[in-house]
C-alpha cells in the first residue's frame, strides 16, 4: 500500500483550510562553519513567533544526499514520492513555460545547434543564441505542418525551445537526437518501444521541414530533440486527499507543477503582495492553498547571501496576512536548499515549520536550520508533509479499527 492508497482511504472532508507557504530553496549554509545561515541571519519575527506555536523539523526532499530539481522538489512537498513519479524532461520544460499539456501529448525539449559545412555539429547550443533572436526563429518553425498531428513550437530561453506533438497514438519513449558531442551530425530519433514508432515518424518529419526553414540561418541552422515525454500521470489532490486546491504562484514552472496535481491556478500575481491579495479573495473557495515564493532560490543561485537574507525577510513579512485568515494548518518550508555558498540546489535538509492548534509544540523558539534540528518533526522525507498537514487539519480518519 503506498501513501496515496492510504490517504485515499482515510481522508475525510471538513471546513478546515490548509496553507503550504513555500520559499523556494529556503535552506542554506553559513558563510563560515559554525556561523548563521541566510534564514538564521534574517530578521523573521513572524516566523519565529509561529515557531513557538508550531512544530519544527528538517525535510529531506528526496533521500539523504540527493539534491532535487524543482520538479522532484515540489512533487515531494505535494506528497508525491519523487522517485515513484517522474516528470519527463520535455514535459517539465513545457510545464516550465506554462504550456498546458494534454493527455496523449508528446513534449520535446529542442536545442538550436550549429552545423558546419560538412553537416556535423560545431556548436551544440548555437553559441547560446540570444533569447529574442531564438524566439523569432521559433516563430518561423511554426510553419511546419504535419498531417494528422497538431504541432506547437514555443521558445524557452537562448537556444532552448519546446515542441509539443498532439495527435492520436503518440508515445514518448524515443531516444534523444543530441549526440552530446560535436563533430558528428545529429542522431536520428529512435523508438525504444513499438508504441512510440509513430512519434519517431512525426519527429523525423518535423526535423526535415525544420532544417529547410533553418537552412539560411547562421547560428541556428539545425536542431536536436531531447527528453521526449508525455504528460505525467499524477493523481489529483481531489482524488488522493479530497482537497480542492489552489496554487498562487508567479512563475510558470510552479503553476505548471501545481496544475499537474490538479490544483487550480488562481490569478496572475506578479508580487507577493498580489499573491496575498489573491489568497484573501479566494479564501472561501478552496480547502488548500499553495503559495510559491521564488526569490529565496534565485538569490541563492546567484550566490548572494545578503540578498537571500533580504528576500527571506520579505517572505516573513507576508506571514501576518496569512495568519489573519486563521488557517487551520500552515506549513512553511522550501522544496530544497539553495545555499548561497554553493550557488546551486543542494542536498541539505530544509527547515520546516508546521503550525496547527494540536501540533504538539517542541519548545523551539526561532525558525532556522539549527533550531529545526531540535524540532518535533525530526528529519523526515518531504513526501510525509501532506499527511501531517491533513492530520493536523482533522482530515484523516483512523487507519484500521
Nearer to its own copies by Cβ, of 220 and 372: the residue is: 372
| Shorter beta-carbon distance to its own copies: residue 262 or 339 | 339
State which residue, 27 or 262, has the beta carbon closest to its own copies: 27
The residues facing 113 across adjacent strands are 222
Cβ at position 341, least distance to its own copies in Å: 6
Q: Which H or E element spans position 351? A: strand 350-355
Residue 321 CB, nearest distance to its own copies (Å)?
Answer: 22
Q: Closest separation between CB of residue 296 and its own copies, Å?
A: 17
Rank residues 79 and 221 by Cβ distance to its own copies and give the closer one. 79
Smallest distance, its own copies to C-beta of residue 300, A: 13
Q: Are 77 and 25 in contact (CB under 8 A)?
A: no
Nearer to its own copies, 269 or 385 (CB): 385
Q: At its nearest, how many Å lie between its own copies and the CB of residue 293?
A: 20
Residue carrying C-alpha cell 498531428: 149
Can you read off the three cell numbers belonging to residue 87? Answer: 516528470
Instruction: List Cβ neighbours of 5 (8 Å cut-off, separation of 6 or more).
Output: none
Radius of gyration of the chain (CA): 23
Number of other CB atoms surrounding residue 264 within 10 Å? 15
Contact in structure between 385 and 69 (CB atoms under 8 Å): no
Long-range contacts for 210-213 (Cβ within 8 Å, ≥24 apart)?
210/141, 210/144, 213/140, 213/141, 213/143, 213/144
Query: Closer CB to its own copies, residue 209 or residue 370?
Result: 370
Measured CA to CA, the distance from residue 11 to residue 396 in angstroms comes to 4
| Whole-number Å distance between alpha carbons of 170 and 85 | 20
Shortest distance (Å) from residue 347 CB to its own copies: 4
The CA-based diameter of the chain, rounded to the nearest angstrom, is 74
Nearer to its own copies, 84 or 271 (CB): 84
Grid coordinates 501540533 are at which residue? 359
> In angstroms, what is the minimal distance from the CB of 147 to its own copies?
32
Q: How many CB atoms lie within 10 A of CB 324?
A: 10
Place of cell 519544527: 56
Judged by CB, which is closer to its own copies: 89, or 198? 89
Cβ 245 to its own copies shortest distance, Å? 17
User: Distance between the two ends of the chain, CA-based, in angstroms?
Assistant: 17
60 versus 223: smaller Cβ distance to its own copies? 60
Mention every residue, 6+ apart, whose C-beta is less than 8 A from residue 334.
22, 23, 24, 25, 26, 27, 59, 296, 297, 350, 351
Give me the phi and psi of 288, to 5 degrees please: -140, 140
231: its cell numbers = 504528460
Q: Tell the smallest beta-carbon distance from residue 71 to its own copies (Å).
A: 5
Amino acid at each position: 500500500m503506498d501513501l496515496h492508497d492510504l490517504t485515499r482511504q482515510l481522508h475525510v472532508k471538513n471546513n478546515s483550510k490548509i496553507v503550504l507557504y513555500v520559499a523556494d530553496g529556503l535552506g542554506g549554509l553559513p558563510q563560515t562553519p559554525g556561523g548563521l545561515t541566510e534564514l538564521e541571519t534574517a530578521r523573521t519575527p513572524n516566523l519565529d513567533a509561529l515557531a513557538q506555536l508550531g512544530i519544527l523539523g528538517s525535510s529531506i526532499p528526496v533521500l539523504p544526499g540527493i539534491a532535487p530539481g524543482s520538479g522532484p522538489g515540489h512533487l515531494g512537498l505535494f506528497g508525491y514520492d519523487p522517485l515513484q513519479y517522474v516528470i519527463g524532461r520535455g514535459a517539465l520544460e513545457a510545464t516550465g513555460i506554462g504550456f498546458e499539456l494534454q493527455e496523449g501529448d508528446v513534449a520535446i525539449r529542442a536545442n538550436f545547434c550549429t552545423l558546419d559545412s560538412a553537416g556535423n555539429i560545431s556548436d551544440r547550443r548555437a553559441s547560446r543564441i540570444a533569447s529574442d533572436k531564438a524566439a523569432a526563429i521559433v516563430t518561423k518553425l511554426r510553419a511546419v505542418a504535419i498531417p494528422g498531428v497538431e504541432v506547437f513550437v514555443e521558445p524557452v530561453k537562448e537556444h532552448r525551445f519546446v515542441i509539443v506533438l498532439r495527435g492520436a497514438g503518440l508515445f514518448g519513449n524515443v531516444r534523444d537526437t543530441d549526440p552530446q558531442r560535436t563533430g558528428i551530425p545529429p542522431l536520428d530519433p529512435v523508438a525504444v518501444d513499438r508504441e512510440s514508432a509513430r512519434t519517431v515518424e512525426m519527429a523525423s518529419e518535423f526535423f526535415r521541414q525544420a532544417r529547410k526553414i533553418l537552412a539560411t540561418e547562421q547560428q541556428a541552422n539545425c536542431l536536436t530533440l531531447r527528453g521526449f515525454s508525455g504528460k505525467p500521470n499524477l493523481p489529483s489532490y481531489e482524488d488522493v486527499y479530497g482537497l480542492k486546491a489552489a496554487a498562487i504562484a508567479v512563475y510558470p514552472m510552479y503553476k505548471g507543477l501545481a496544475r499537474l496535481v490538479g490544483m487550480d491556478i488562481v490569478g496572475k500575481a506578479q508580487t507577493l503582495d498580489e499573491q496575498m491579495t489573491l489568497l484573501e479573495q479566494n479564501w472561501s473557495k478552496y480547502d488548500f492553498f499553495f503559495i510559491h515564493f521564488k526569490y529565496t532560490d534565485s538569490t541563492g543561485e546567484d550566490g548572494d547571501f545578503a540578498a537571500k537574507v533580504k528576500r527571506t525577510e520579505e517572505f516573513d513579512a507576508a506571514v501576518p496576512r496569512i495568519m489573519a485568515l486563521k488557517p487551520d494548518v500552515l506549513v512553511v518550508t522550501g522544496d530544497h536548499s539553495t545555499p548561497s555558498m554553493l550557488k546551486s540546489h543542494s542536498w541539505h535538509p530544509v527547515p520546516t515549520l508546521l503550525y496547527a492548534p494540536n501540533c504538539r509544540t517542541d519548545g523551539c523558539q526561532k525558525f532556522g536550520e539549527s533550531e529545526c534540528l531540535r524540532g518535533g518533526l525530526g528529519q523526515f522525507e518531504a513526501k510525509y508533509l501532506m499527511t501531517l498537514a491533513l492530520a493536523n487539519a482533522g482530515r484523516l480518519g483512523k487507519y484500521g479499527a
